[in-house]
Amino acid sequence: MSGVATAEMPRAANLPTGLRRVGADERAGALYRGPVKAVILDWSGTLADEHVIAPIDVLLDVFKRHGVEITMEEARLPLGLRKDEHIAKILAIPDVQRRWKEAHDGAASMACDVQTLYNEFIPKQLEVMRKHTSLIPGAVDAVDELRDQFKCKIGVTTGLPQALAEVMLHDGSGQGFVPDSNVSADTIPKGLGCRPAPFMVYENLAQLGVYPIHSVVKVDDTAVGVAEGVNAGCWSVGIAGAGSYTNVKTRQHWAVLDRNDKEARLEHARSELVKGGAHYVIDSISLLPVVVRDINSRLAEGDRP
């Protein structure tokens, strides 16, 4: 065969001789049609710390120490990002920046202020986090089913640094959860970027030895974490019922809300996760095995994320 497009090898219009665009039907035999091999889970709001309580009071306190009152909604807005980026995004909120200037003789916040706030946040977060490492109900059973029935490997990602992830790993193991791989935001070179960049997913897959990307599912409770999966090229699942978008101060706060209020908050969470590009949105991690079963059927038919 000469390599030149002929009548038997149709060439798309405007492509030069010697270049052939291969159609999807011709490539169908090479498509991966096997099952899901790996599920990559976020920590806070997905696996543990139901409703993402741990970082919020710390962020409010750290900003207050610098003369700036921020709201719970402002503190939650950038959740899912690496924590220095999270703090920078809070400072970029116009009302927060206005308050910062009022508290600092008209001076705008700078990169050094972000670093100062971050340096104060980490040790305080470490103290608080130990109270919020309980796994979300249904998490262990869902992971066990993914492993036992679907033979999936399990990885985890977090926007927190590894020092804080170690606390969750330790406490999670005592509750029956031990992942096969673990990647924290500070283990990825800053030049590559954290969420919504896909590199924490890719690093998990390197540790797990898993490919192709179509055989991978990313699970998160934030739009930026869902987008991380979409940008990686894998299936992306949003969890609405236990994440930050429920916007409650405590788990007890959620428990006493009436049905209509809960449903309104859940619908808001679902909507935000869809905006992030989720292929599936579920209210509870207990539904994750159902999602994987459905993805397996789609993969068998040659479907792709």
10-residue mean pLDDT profile of the chain (305 residues): values are 42 79 83 96 95 90 94 86 89 95 94 94 90 95 98 95 93 97 91 88 98 98 96 98 92 94 97 97 98 98 94
Residue 24: its pLDDT value, please?
Answer: 81
Q: Edge-to-edge strand order for the sheet containing 181-184?
A: 181-184, 153-158, 38-42, 216-220, 235-239, 280-282
Q: Which one of the listed residues 37, 42, 186, 218 is annotated catalytic?
A: 42
Amino acid identity of residue 216, one-letter, is V
**Is cis: bond before 137, omega within 30 of 0?**
no
CA 132 to CA 173: how far, in whole Å? 14
Contact 126, 162 (CB under 8 A): no
| Of 289, 256, 302, 244, residue with least CA distance to 45 | 244
Residue 11: its pLDDT value, please?
Answer: 53
Residue with tokens 């959740």: 79
Residue 30: its pLDDT value, please?
Answer: 83
In the chain, the N- to C-terminal Cα span, in Å, equals 34
Residue 133: its pLDDT value, please?
Answer: 93
Residue ranges of domains in the chain, CATH in brackets = 38-53+134-300 (3.40.50.1000), 54-129 (1.10.150.240)
Contact 221, 239 (CB under 8 A): yes
Residue 6: its pLDDT value, please?
Answer: 37
Q: Which one of the listed residues 37, 49, 83, 221 is annotated catalytic?
A: 83
Contact 102, 66 (CB under 8 A): no
Q: What is the DSSP string of 199-216?
A: HHHHHHHHHHT---GGGE
Instruction: Write the CB contacts of 132 (distance below 8 Å, at least 6 apart in sequence).
Output: 48, 49, 53, 54
**Global pTM?**
0.88
Q: Is 42 an annotated catalytic residue?
A: yes
